[in-house]
Structures are given as C-alpha cells and as structure tokens.
C-alpha cells in the first residue's frame, strides 16, 4: 500500500491528528473547501477566475464525500487530520472528523497547495528558510483584489519565501512549471507595492528572517478562499485547518508541466 | 522559398549589409565565432562549461563553411551581413564577405541569440523598452567570471532589459523555457551585485530608461565569447558584428522547451 493511503488510514483511525507537512513525501497534498450546493458553482467560477490563489484540482458530486481521481478510497469527512467549521463566515469550531456535520447538499473542492512546489525547490537545491528553521511559512493579506464570482469576492492572501537573487530566479523558473499548484510568484521585492504594510508582521507565521542581498518572493496562497469565505459569509462551510491537508495518491511530479 | 533563405540570398548577393534585427521573423538568428582548428576544441569546451553566455547550436567541420543543420545551403563566409576580424585578440577590420580570409583550418560555431527569447516575450505581451524606443539593447561587462577552458577565460558580458515586477516574473518564466538561447536571466535588481558600477553607462547601447517600480533583469550575453577572445588572443578569429546575425532556417519555437 502506498504511503498516502497508509497515512489516510491512520488519520481516519484517529491515530494522526497533527500537520501533514513533510509526510508521504512526493504525494500531492490539497487544500479542502466544502460548501453547500447552492454556493458550489459560484465557488468553481471563482476558482476558474482566480487560478493562482485557487488552483482547483477536484470537485465532488453534491452530497458525495469521495474524490476518486485523487484516491479510490478517499472520504473527505474523515481523511484530513483537522477541519475548521464556518457558520455565516465565522470560524465556529475545529474538528477531527466531520461525519456528523455532513449533509446531502455539500460539495467538496480540493485545491493545489504550495507543498508541491516546495518539494520541487528543495529537490533542486533551492533552500527554503522557514523550513530550514522548522517554522511556519509567513502569509499576508494584500491589497490585491481577486476577480469576483457571484457572491464571492475578497483580497488575495500571499505566502512569502525569501532567497538570494540567483535562487529567486531558480524559484521562479521551477514554480512556473507547477501552474496547478499556485505557479510562479505574483510579486517580488517591495512589499508595499502589493499593500503589505510591514513584512515583519505577517498575518500567520512568525517574523521572517530576510538577510542582506535576499529578496522576498510572494506567491498566491491557498488561504485566499478562506478569506473570501469569511468575507462572503456563506451560511455553512468547512475547510482544512492550515497545514492539516488532504494527502492524495497523486504525485507532485504529475503536476509538473513538461 | 522561406523568408530566412530569401534573406540569406540577398545578403550573399550584397543587397543587405545592415542589421538583421526583426527580419525573417520566427527564424532563429545566431551569433557566429570562427576560430582555427587548434582552438576549436577549447572553444567547444568553453561553451559546454558556460552554456548561458555561450549556448552552442552548431559547429562546422574543419575548413567547411557549411552548417547544414541550420540551413542546407548555408555558407558562413557570405551569409552574414557584416563580420569582425580579430588578429591576436584585436579587432582589425570589418568585412561583408570573408571568402578571401577563409582557410582550410577554420571552424565555424553558431551560438544562440537573445532575439529568440525577445520574440517570445513580445508574443506574450511583455513589452521590451529598448525595442519600443528603437534603441539597441544595453550590454555591460560584469565582475562575474566564466569557467575557463584551456586558454579561454574572461568575464561575463550581460544584456539588460527592464520591466515592471509582474512582467519581470513573466520574463523569467518565458526565457527559462529557452535554455539554448541564454535561458533565464542570471541576475536582477542591484547592478553592483554583479560588478556593474553604473547602470546608466553601458558598454554598448545608450543610457537605459528605467522607470519607478521597474527592475532591471540581466541575461548572459552572446558578446561574452568576443570578450573572451579579446582576452585569450588567438592569432586569428572572425565573429559576426553585433546585430548582423546568421539567419537560419530553424524556428525559434523549435528551441522552446515543452
């Protein structure tokens, strides 16, 4: 049995309830968004209009918790270590199993995640500071709008990684080959140009360690849909908790463009 | 007959003796270096060790002025509009035909040229300031070394193009797909970091027009081998004159990685 299936089995059995970072290496990990069916087409349209922050990989049928193209046995109600539940746009609880919350009108969406390109960067010898230091990636709300779709609208959230200039060029080259998992960065250099007032104060993650001669690169982040949901306030929504991802049977390399 | 062949015929007949910039669009244009056979293997090794400034595309047999893989009729003695002749590393003359200088021990090398990726940038809607203004590209000698090969050594020459940050990211993405025509830039941002004292004083080309919020990107340049030859002083060498290229039957798109 492959590593992703083994890990999902452990998660489903309640034996693993923490982050999936670095586990089942090589396997694509995905962000999860679950919405009522009457929001689903709008969310799909929002993803299509904003592929960099919302790279849609798979969508379930209404009421169906399986995503067979990502793994034949996947049950999104039990296969993630931790979920966030939103009511009217407000986070109201965290769960390790959403079986009792599942409804016949819910639709699950799996979105690409930066773990895929981070693994490609490391494989190419491009070091990632926050990973070397065992810290969380820094994310920021920006002043950049997204393309609205129906009731869904909001500003883009970005993640930041800092590099020397030669490694920044390599990072752009490499991540541009992964358009279905956020792709190339959307900005580098001056944080103020995208509405980040203070790079030392991320919304999530600790103070970054940016050294002389290094440049910050900003990627569209999979947290964006959570910010959009908070703004649009659908009556009900479930997402993964940051870092607690859906581990799929697909390989990151399948998402690299030739 | 294709546009490249027609242009070569006109050049060979002496009807076109100026730059080839923008002519026979879509066709790969190449830098030319001609060296005596006893320098040829060293030059090939230098290209192999420095693929970004010296992306070798074709090499002739000793004494043979044809490069059939670039065009069945090519004769490098007559098919470029203008040549520079070097003796002992010094430029001694410019010619429009090198038939009388040709020798049985000469070897011709064709190297990739930035025209290929510039055409891809324009096709993608990424504007190139110096082209919009009808100016020459700025080039600079840097403090960056090359990897020596035998008697060949010297510092890297770069060309500079400036962009807004989003277009800079697109330019890195696009040019990284053309590794055989210089590929991605080797640097962006601070010119001093690669030993350029004053960006307003290029070695070649006029003062650049870099506007607020724009960033300069620096690509390894095909002028590098000419600088290396000036430093290594082979007894005899012929190159193209800047902008007066070998126009081949190959298409730029053939040099784009999938």
How far are the Cα atoms of A123, B37, B56, B67, B107 from residue B64, in angstroms, in the given order?
Answer: 44, 11, 17, 8, 7
Distance CA B242, CA B255 (A): 21
**CB B46 within 8 Å of CB B228:** yes
Contacts with B176 from chain A: Cβ below 8 Å? 172-173, 176
B207-231 pLDDT, tens digit per residue, is: 899 999 999 999 999 889 988 988 8
Reduce the DSSP state of residue B159 to 3 states and report it.
strand
pLDDT at A1 over 80: no
Distance CA B107, CA B105 (A): 7
Q: What is the mean pLDDT of residues A197-203?
A: 94
Q: Which of A253, A239, A250 is nearest to A101 (CA)?
A: A239
Residues 185-204 of B with CB under 8 A from A: 185-190, 193
Same domain, A133 and A213: yes
Gap from B176 CA to chain A (nearest CA, Å): 6
Same domain, B195 and B241: no
Q: What is the mean pLDDT of residues A212-218?
A: 97
A23-36 pLDDT, tens digit per residue, is: 998 899 999 999 99
* Tally of domains in chain B: 2
Q: Can you give the pLDDT at residue B223? A: 87
Q: Can you give the pLDDT at residue B184? A: 95
CATH number at residue A168: 3.30.2040.10
Same domain, A86 and A150: no
Q: Can you give the pLDDT at residue A226? A: 87
Rounded (5°) CA angle A134-A137-A143: 165
Distance CA A130, CA A132 (A): 5
Give this prediction's pTM: 0.86
Same domain, B210 and B241: no
User: Which residues form the domain of B34?
Assistant: 3-114+233-255
**Least trusted range by pLDDT, from A79-88, A193-202, B116-125:** B116-125
pLDDT at B205 over 90: no
Same domain, A19 and A88: yes
Same domain, A8 and A110: yes
Q: Cβ–Cβ of B188/A168 closer than 8 Å? A: yes
Same domain, B136 and B194: yes
Band (pLDDT 50/70/90 cuts) for residue A206 is confident
Same domain, A100 and A177: no
**Least trusted range by pLDDT, from A113-117, B49-53, B78-82, B161-165:** A113-117
Same domain, B75 and B122: no
Interface confidence, given as ipTM, is 0.80
CATH number at residue B238: 3.40.1640.10
Band (pLDDT 50/70/90 cuts) for residue A230 is confident
Reading the block at residue A203, the tokens are 């919304």
Same domain, B76 and B127: no
Same domain, A53 and A135: no
Q: What is the mean pLDDT of residues A11-20?
A: 93
A2 shares contact with chain B (CB less than 8 Å)? no
Q: Which one of B162, B167, B168, B176 would you mutate to disrupt binding with A, by most A Cβ within 10 Å of its Cβ?
A: B176
Same domain, B102 and B168: no
A90-142 pLDDT, tens digit per residue, is: 999 999 999 999 999 999 999 999 888 898 999 999 999 998 888 888 999 99
**CB B228 within 8 Å of CB B156:** no
A169 shares contact with chain B (CB less than 8 Å)? yes
């Amino acid at each position: 049995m492959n590593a992703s299936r083994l890990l999902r089995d452990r998660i489903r059995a309640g034996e693993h309830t923490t982050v999936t970072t670095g586990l089942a290496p090589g396997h694509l990990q995905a962000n999860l968004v679950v919405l009522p069916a009457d929001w689903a087409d709008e969310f799909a349209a929002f993803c299509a209009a904003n592929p960099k922050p919302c790279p849609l990989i798979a969508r379930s049928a209404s009421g169906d918790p399986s995503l067979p193209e990502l793994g034949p046995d996947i049950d999104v109600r039990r296969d993630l270590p931790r979920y966030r539940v939103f009511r009217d746009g407000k986070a109201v609880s965290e769960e390790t199993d959403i079986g009792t919350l599942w409804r016949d009108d819910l639709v699950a969406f799996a979105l690409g995640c930066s773990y895929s390109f981070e693994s490609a960067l490391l494989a190419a010898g491009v070091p990632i500071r926050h990973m070397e230091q065992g810290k969380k990636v820094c994310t920021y709300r920006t002043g950049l709008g997204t393309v609205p779709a129906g009731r869904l609208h909001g500003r883009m959230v970005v993640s930041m990684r800092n590099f020397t200039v030669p490694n920044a060029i390599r990072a752009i080259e490499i991540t541009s080959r992964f358009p279905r998992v956020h792709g190339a960065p959307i900005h580098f250099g001056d944080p103020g140009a995208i509405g980040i007032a203070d790079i030392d104060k991320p919304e999530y993650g600790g103070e970054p360690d940016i050294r002389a001669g290094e440049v910050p690169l900003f990627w569209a982040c999979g947290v964006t849909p959570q910010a959009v949901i908070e703004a649009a306030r659908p009556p009900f929504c479930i997402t993964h908790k940051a870092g607690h991802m859906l581990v799929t049977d697909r390989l990151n390399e399948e998402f690299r463009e030739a």
